[in-house]
Amino acid sequence: MSDQRLFDQKKAAPSTMTGVPGADSLSEILSQPQFWGRCLEGLEREGSLARIRQPFHSARQWLFIGCGSSYYIALAAAAAWSRITGIRARAIPASELLLFPDLVLADAEDLAAVVISRSGRTSEAVQAARLLEREKNIRVLAVTGTPDQPLEQIATATLPLLPCDEQSTVMTRSFSSMLLGLQYLAACQADDCKLLKSLGKLSGLAQPAMDSLHPQVRDFVGSHQFADYVCLGQGLFFGLACETALKITEMSVSYAQSFHTLEFRHGPKSIVGPETLIMFLLSEQGYEAECDVLQEIKGLGGTTLAVTNRADKRARAASDLIVEFDFDLPEVVRLAPYVFAGQLTGLCTGLKKGLDPDHPRNLSRVVVLDEETSVT
The string of pLDDT tens digits covering residues 50-106 is 888 889 988 999 999 999 999 999 999 999 999 999 999 999 999 999 999 999 999
Q: How does pLDDT run across 11-54, given as a tens digit for each residue? A: 444 444 557 999 999 999 999 999 999 999 888 876 678 888 88
First to last CA, the chain: 45
- Give residue 332's pLDDT: 98
170 and 233 in a single domain? The answer is no
Burial grade of 266 (CB within 10 A; 0-12, 13-18, 19 or more) = exposed
User: What is residue 98's predicted lDDT score, i.e. its pLDDT?
Assistant: 98
Q: How far apart are CA 317 and CA 207, in angstroms?
A: 26
Q: Mean per-residue pLDDT for 337-361?
A: 96
What distance in Å separates the CA atoms of residue 32 and residue 43, rounded to the nearest whole number?
16
Which CATH number covers residue 246? 3.40.50.10490
Residue 324 lies in a domain: yes
Residues 155, 335, 128, CA angle at the centre, nearest 5°?
A: 20
Residue 364 lies inside a defined structural domain of this protein: no
**Is residue 14 situated within a structural domain?**
no
* Domains: count for the chain: 2
365: pLDDT confidence band, cut at 50, 70 and 90? low
Distance (Å, whole) CA 31 – CA 146: 18
Helical (H) or strand (E) element with 33: helix 32-46
Residue 376 included in any domain? no
- The 10s digit of each residue's pLDDT in 285-310 is 999 999 999 999 999 999 999 999 99
Chain CA centroid to CA 118, Å: 12
**226 and 144 fall within a common domain:** no
Asked if residue 193 and residue 153 are part of one domain, the reply reads yes
Assess whether 141 and 115 both reside in one domain. Answer: yes
Among residues 176, 197, 218, the one where a domain terminates is 197
Same domain flag for 141 and 217? no
Q: 145: helix, coil or strand?
A: coil
Same domain, 73 and 104: yes
174 and 223 together in one domain: no
Same-domain status, 192 and 213:
no
Task: Check whether residue 43 and residue 189 sit in a common domain.
Answer: yes
Whether residue 173 sits in one domain with residue 312: no
DSSP string of 179-207, one letter each residue: HHHHHHHHHHHTT-HHHHHHHHHHHHHHH
Residue 24 lies in a domain: no
7 lies in some domain: no
> Mean pLDDT over all residues of the chain?
92
| Residue 106 burial (10 A CB sphere; 0-12, 13-18, 19+) | exposed
| Residues 132-164 pLDDT 10s | 999 999 999 999 988 889 999 999 999 988 887
Q: Based on the domain organization, do 47 and 192 belong to the same domain?
A: yes
Q: What size, in residues, is the chain?
A: 376
Last residue of a domain, one of 197, 232, 248: 197
Last residue of a domain, one of 143, 173, 197: 197
**Residue 109 domain boundaries:** 29-197
- Sign (positive/negative) of CA torsion 277, 281, 284, 286? negative
Report d(CA 66, CA 92) in Å as an integer.
7
Asked whether residue 217 carries a pLDDT value surpassing 70, the answer given is: yes
- The phi, psi pair for 145, rounded to 5°, reads -100, 5
Q: Does a structural domain hold residue 13?
A: no
Say whether both 36 and 142 belong to one domain: yes
Question: Does 10 reside within a domain?
Answer: no
Cβ burial, residue 326 (10 Å; 0-12/13-18/19+): exposed
Q: How confident is the model at residue 364 (pLDDT cuts 50, 70, 90)?
A: low
